[in-house]
């Protein structure tokens, strides 16, 4: 009987060591090494086809212009939000990883995609649910498909046998942490198993041209569970975000070899599934009957999509001595910078004031174009003077109190006009060469915070 061989793997980066070490020499993380059983057999590792080993001719370099290439059209789904996030549709042979918190709706999104692609043969493989559980979830959805096949299996060799027989045009794996390969003698979800199973699925996708969706778990800090090499192996990494107690979900791209990494898709979770939000600005701006102080509307960009979001702030005298500075959805360091600019350049006494800032809708924003809206919101709350609900803002604030230009101003102005705003305050340096006559909205160009202050008081 062969002796059992073990080695140690880093759970963060996948590095290997013959003995346990406290600090990983590759990524620098502490206490991430775990012992796993390894096994080497005669079957070639990473091969999704169970065939005997054959001699293959070594590959040789080719000149780039000699490489044969035929452009393959993307698979366009009925989900416009997913198409936008993926860069225009599903690329044949791509490996797509989607991660998110438990209960956020990853499996619902994948099953909904499988049911809406009625012209393609889809295989939905689940290692977490039985086939009857998948059927119960599918019955709640209004979509029906005759070409959606389900399989409850965790062994990759068994999955590939069914794939060979069925020959699907799209494969969904839910989830990658539940799969295991018989080539590796370790528990499912371990570093070596996740890496081996992903390698087999990647080889299958590239050789057959079949797109593969992988559902992945996340850790408590929000990153994809398993080795970091998992995110390097796949073509696209999607993050499904949102509060489980709220109905809205955000699909965000963190890596995409075939498109932009700044795109955003917004859904609403309902009993019958996920509904696309084609105009997210309407849900991000609260409908209120009376004007409130400390509320300003800012025009931002997420990828190629312009969004108008609501900035809420509360400025009140500090009760417990030390002033509090709290921001939700906005960079706290940038908030402190804007408070210093308002105090130095605007003459506002904010040193003994508690300041609370909130981005409505649960979004996390980093567009500097929201600086003007944040400053307007803070001034409104400090002066106890409401801002008209027909005004919005787009501009970056510098340390000297100047209003700097931001990119794609035409898209921001067009979105504001489409939502019925009567006035938008922008930097005068951002409208050079822009034909303002084609917009049904008044564009106010300012260069300093003092000029913006005159517009809102």
- Rounded to 10 degrees, what is the CA torsion of 149, 150, 154, 155? -30
**Residue 128: cis peptide before it, omega within 30 degrees of 0:** no
Task: Spell out a b/e string for 277-316, using b for 16 or more CB atoms within 10 Å of the CB, else e.
Answer: beebbebbbeeeeeeebbbbbbbbbbbebbbbbbbbbbbe
Q: In the Cβ-directed half-sphere of 447, how many Cα atoms lie within 13 Å?
A: 2
Angle between helices 449-456 and 371-383 (to 10 degrees): 50
Per the document, the length of the chain is 457
- Rounded to 10 degrees, what is the CA torsion of 144, 83, 302, 304? -140
Distances (CA, A) of 110 to 115, 138, 251: 9, 11, 12
Residue keyed to tokens 């044969």: 68
420 assigned ligand-binding residue: no
106 assigned ligand-binding residue: yes
- In this structure, are residues 178 and 163 in contact, taking their beta carbons and an 8 Å threshold? no
Distances (CA, A) of 165 to 11, 159, 254, 338: 35, 10, 34, 62
Query: Distance between CA atoms of 21 and 357, rounded to whole angstroms?
Result: 44
102 assigned ligand-binding residue: yes
101 assigned ligand-binding residue: yes
81 assigned ligand-binding residue: no
Rounded to 5 degrees, φ, ψ at 299 are: -100, 120
For the record, the structure tokens of 276 come out as 């696309």
Q: Residues marked as binding for ATP?
A: 100-107
Q: Residues marked as binding?
A: 100-107
């Amino acid at each position: 009987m062969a002796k059992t061989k073990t080695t140690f793997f880093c759970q963060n980066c996948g590095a290997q060591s013959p003995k346990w070490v406290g600090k990983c020499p590759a990524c620098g993380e502490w206490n991430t090494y775990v012992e796993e059983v390894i096994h080497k057999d005669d079957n070639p590792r990473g091969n999704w086809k169970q065939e005997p080993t054959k001699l293959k001719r070594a590959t040789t370099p080719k000149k780039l212009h000699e490489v044969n290439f035929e452009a393959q059209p993307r698979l366009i789904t009925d989900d416009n939000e997913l198409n936008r996030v993926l860069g225009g549709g599903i690329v044949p042979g791509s490996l797509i990883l989607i991660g998110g918190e438990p209960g956020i709706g990853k499996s619902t999104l994948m099953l909904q995609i499988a049911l809406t692609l009625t012209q393609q043969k889809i295989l939905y493989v689940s290692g977490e649910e039985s086939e009857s559980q998948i059927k119960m979830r599918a019955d709640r959805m209004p979509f029906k498909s005759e070409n959606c096949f389900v399989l409850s299996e965790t062994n990759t060799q068994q999955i590939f046998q069914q794939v060979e027989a069925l020959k699907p045009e799209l494969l969904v794996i839910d989830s990658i942490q539940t799969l295991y390969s018989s080539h590796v003698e370790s528990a499912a979800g371990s570093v070596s198993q996740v890496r081996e199973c992903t390698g087999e699925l990647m080889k299958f996708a590239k050789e057959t041209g079949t797109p593969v969706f992988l559902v992945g778990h996340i850790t408590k800090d929000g990153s994809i569970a398993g080795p970091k090499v998992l995110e390097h192996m796949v073509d696209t990494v999607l993050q499904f975000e949102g509060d489980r107690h709220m109905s809205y979900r955000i699909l965000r791209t963190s890596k995409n070899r075939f498109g932009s990494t700044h795109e955003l898709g917004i859904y609403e979770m309902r009993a019958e599934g996920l509904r696309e939000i084609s105009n997210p600005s309407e849900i991000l701006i609260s409908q209120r009957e009376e004007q409130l102080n400390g509320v300003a509307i800012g025009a931002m960009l997420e990828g190629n999509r312009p969004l108008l979001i609501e900035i809420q702030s509360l400025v009140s005298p500090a009760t417990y001595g030390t002033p509090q500075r709290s921001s939700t959805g906005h960079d706290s360091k940038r908030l402190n910078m804007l408070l210093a600019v308002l105090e130095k350049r605007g003459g506002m006494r904010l040193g003994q004031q508690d300041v609370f800032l909130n981005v409505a809708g649960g979004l996390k924003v980093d567009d500097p174009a929201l600086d003007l809206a944040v400053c307007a919101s803070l001034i409104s709350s400090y002066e106890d003077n409401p801002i008209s609900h027909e005004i919005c803002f787009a501009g970056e604030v510098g340390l000297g109190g100047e209003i700097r230009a931001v990119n794609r101003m035409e898209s921001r102005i067009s979105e504001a006009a489409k939502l019925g705003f009567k006035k938008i305050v922008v930097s005068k340096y951002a409208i050079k060469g822009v034909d303002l006559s084609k917009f049904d909205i008044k564009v106010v160009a300012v260069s300093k915070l003092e000029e913006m202050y005159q517009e809102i008081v």
